[in-house]
Amino acid sequence: MTAPREKPITDRKIPGTDVPDVSSVPESGGESDSQKRWLSRVGVTTAVLAACASVATMFSASYLNKAMLEQIVTSDSWNYYQAKGVKLAVLESRMELLSALGKPPVAAPGSESDSARAERYRNEQNEIKAEAEKHRQLASEYQTRHSRLALASTSSQIAIAMAAVALLTRKNSFWLLSVLVGLVGIGLLVFGLFAPIAAQVMTK
């Protein structure tokens, strides 16, 4: 004798309890092989652009810091140059005053004469000036590299944004535009890193 079948609590379906049939959903997500290859190319492009943007940003910040340090050294050098100039001006005024009064310059025993000290101040000024010019040129070069690498980073980030739009819209034109802008960014990255070095080698 079979057990009596239990009656359902209600014959009416409760809203929201229907289980969707997923057996008919394709495993590939509906993407064809050509679309998969295209998506892979866009993904690889985005990864390369992200790496270039990171490298450009890192070197841009590094060269900006170097430029600021060189500018500080340049400013200190010019301050030192002016201090020597003040000493030289005071010494020359003293020498002119003694000469106008008809008195010979008096130097302490074992110390250099006023004329020798003035000449030393002039030589020190020339050395300080040359050092300040060298640091000024370095600061200018570092600032130029920073600007180029900042443009490279910006171009790469714009290209990444275009690649994201290409993925969302599934349009190849946005991807090609992303590749074009990315190549510009890579060119600026290479130019910013190696162009000054190449110029120095050519001038030697």
Q: Give the residue extent of every domain in the chain.
A: 47-105+112-203
Q: How many helices (H) and strands (E) does the chain have?
A: 3, 0
CA angle 177, 178, 181 (to 5 degrees): 85
Nearest to 181 by CA among 153, 156, 149: 156
Mean pLDDT of 82-93: 85
What is the average pLDDT score of the chain? 80
Q: So what's the pLDDT on residue 22?
A: 41
- Report the candidate in 60, 122, 65 with the shortest Cα–Cα distance to residue 91: 122
pLDDT value of residue 202: 46
Residue 26 confidence class, pLDDT cut points 50, 70, 90: very low
Predicted confidence band of residue 99 (pLDDT cuts 50, 70, 90): confident
Would you call 110 exposed, middle or buried from its count of C-beta atoms within 10 A (0-12, 13-18, 19+)? Answer: exposed
Per the document, the length of the chain is 204
pLDDT for position 189: 92
Interval 102-128: pLDDT, tens: 776 665 555 677 778 888 888 888 898
Mean pLDDT to the nearest integer, 172-194: 91
Both tokens assigned to 110: 């074992």
Q: Which of 10-14, 50-54, 146-150 has the lowest mean pLDDT?
A: 10-14
- Percentage of residues of the chain with pLDDT beyond 70: 75
